[in-house]
Structure 1
Amino acid sequence: MESMKPTIVLVHGAFAESGGWGPVADRLRAEGHHVVAAANPLRSVAFDAAQVRALVDSIEGPVVLVGHSYGGMVISKAGAGAENVTALVFVAAFAPEAGESGASLSGKFPGSTLGETLRTVDLPDGNQDAYVAQELYHRQFVADVPEEQARLMAITQRPITIAALNEEAEGPQAWRGLPSWFVIAEADRNIPPAAVHFMAERAGAEVVSVEGASHAVFASRPDLVADVILRAANA
């Protein structure tokens, strides 16, 4: 009997939302995979990872976890010890070691201009939500997509708490024990490409380097990103 194809769980990062995976999901579904674009709460690494882990545990059969940006922090934790997770794909994403945060990894190498584009909203619990200013979103986040598409992405972006950006990863990280693939956007203005190369090399990952690609490479190069995910699913 033919083995079950892995379910692909797509985890968006900050300043994006699950619908942004649409073109990638279409390609994966066309290849016969069940796909779930998880709603990442973007509240804290531990909380968000617990939500994704609950989703993973509800799925019968193998799972490939895919994370974009901060979503990499989430899948690194959510996939640790999950018996049905077979591979990880990091799309312009963080793959932290315990004690590292998104903020610390971004600051490890020069090049990020994200901080100067952020606008914050004070929350009732004393935390702050951060958004990318809409007028700066196109250049900062997704410079290689048409302006109208970028405008819609800016409008529909979901904020992340400042605390989550600074929260350190804790405990075992899934990339230590699972095969991983990295898509590296070489024109990324959020996470310096050098930082992603560092994390990919540390993980012993297979790397696909995309010249001229923005941070939102899942939106600008969906076929390429889908191809990498399919490679991980078929490995």
Structure 2
Amino acid sequence: MHKVFGAVAFAAAALGVGGAGAAEPAKPTVVLVHGAFADASGWNGVITQLNKHGYQTIAAANPLRSLMGDAAAVSALLKSIKGDVVLVGHSYGGLVITDAAYGNNNVKALVYVAGFIPDAGESAFALSTKFPGSTLGDALQPVPLPEGGVDLYIQPAKFHDQFAADLPVDVTALMAATQRPVTQSALEGKTIVATWKALPSYTIYGSADLNIPAAVQVFMADRAGVKRSVAIEGGSHALMVSHPDEVAAIIGEAANNLAD
């Protein structure tokens, strides 16, 4: 199940590139949900690849305020979309899409990009520490909020090594400066339903992820019985930025398989 991704021919096939034939059915809309310490622009490279191959894409603005509220915001967006949807989540966004898919029958597949694949009643904090390897806690910078609660940022000096070590330092400096904080309560929020039990699911993750260790990713993928689990050797937590082609390809595979 677990294998390194990278074959050009497979990527082309997954994205729906091929020879002439019968008219293809309409492609699903791909909805991309970013996680903590990121924003929707992190999907730009993935969107570029998907759009080249005829997919309509929407990069949702994840509020990062509470798991219930964030899932409700994405759910509302899903309800506005006509036709099938492939729902994609990065990091904490994995919890969000798992809950947001519930009750939205147009969601036909889930794709987790360095993302949490939670069972009902699980939180980001609990899953990230299920196995050793996460160093995120020591990299966080808490900011108390005036109305109560705490926002969490990654310390700029630690952002490159913690979040995106496979990207150039000048790129990660911009990512660190524009990161969006997540509330501590959002990371402690527990999911209500494991929609991956009813939907075909896929995952791609980096072997060198310091936010969600590879051991956690393997555990979650095996438990969920995902259709495909792809490990990027040396990949960081920011796979959608550092490996957009591979991420786009597994999304394309999920989309192509809807007709199977």
Per the shorter chain, which TM-score range? over 0.9
Bigger radius of gyration: 2
TM-score (norm 2): 0.88
Answer yes or no: is 1:188 the counterpart of 2:209: yes
Question: 1:168 deviation in Å?
Answer: 1.3
Match of 1:19 among 41, 45, 55: 41
Match of 1:179 in 2: 200
Q: Which 4+ stretches in 1 moved above 2 angstroms?
A: none
1:47-66 equivalence runs, <5 A: 47-66=69-88
> Could you tell me which of 90, 110, 127 is aligned with 2:132?
110
Q: For 1:100, which of 108, 122, 142 is the aligned residue?
A: 122
Distance 2:36 2:140 in 1: 11
User: Are 1:28 and 2:50 an aligned pair?
Assistant: yes
Matched to 1:8, the amino acid is: V
Supply the AA of the counterpart residue of 2:198. Answer: G
Q: 2:62 aligns with which of 14, 31, 40?
A: 40
Q: Deviations over 1:124-156 (max 9, x none)?
A: 221100000011100000000011111111111
Q: CA offsets, 1:24-53, max 9 Å, x none?
A: 000000010100000000011110000001
1:88 aligned residue: 110
Partner of 1:79: 101
- Structure 1, gaps ≥5 residues long: none
In 2, Cα distance between the equivalents of 1:97 and 1:45?
Answer: 14
Report the counterpart of residue 157 of structure 1 in structure 2. Answer: 179
Determine what percentage of the aligned residue pairs are the same residue.
Answer: 53
The Cα of 1:3 is off from its aligned counterpart by 2.2
User: Aligned partner of 2:186: which letter?
Assistant: A
Root-mean-square deviation over aligned CA pairs: 0.9
One-letter amino acid matched to 2:155: A
3-state secondary structure, aligned to 2:87: strand
When the two structures are aligned, how many residues end up with a matched partner? 234
Determine which of 223, 241, 251 is the counterpart of 1:202: 223
Structure 2 unaligned regions, length at least 5: 1-22
After TM superposition, give the deviation of residue 2 of structure 1 in Å: 4.3
Give the TM-score of the pair, scaled to structure 1. 0.98
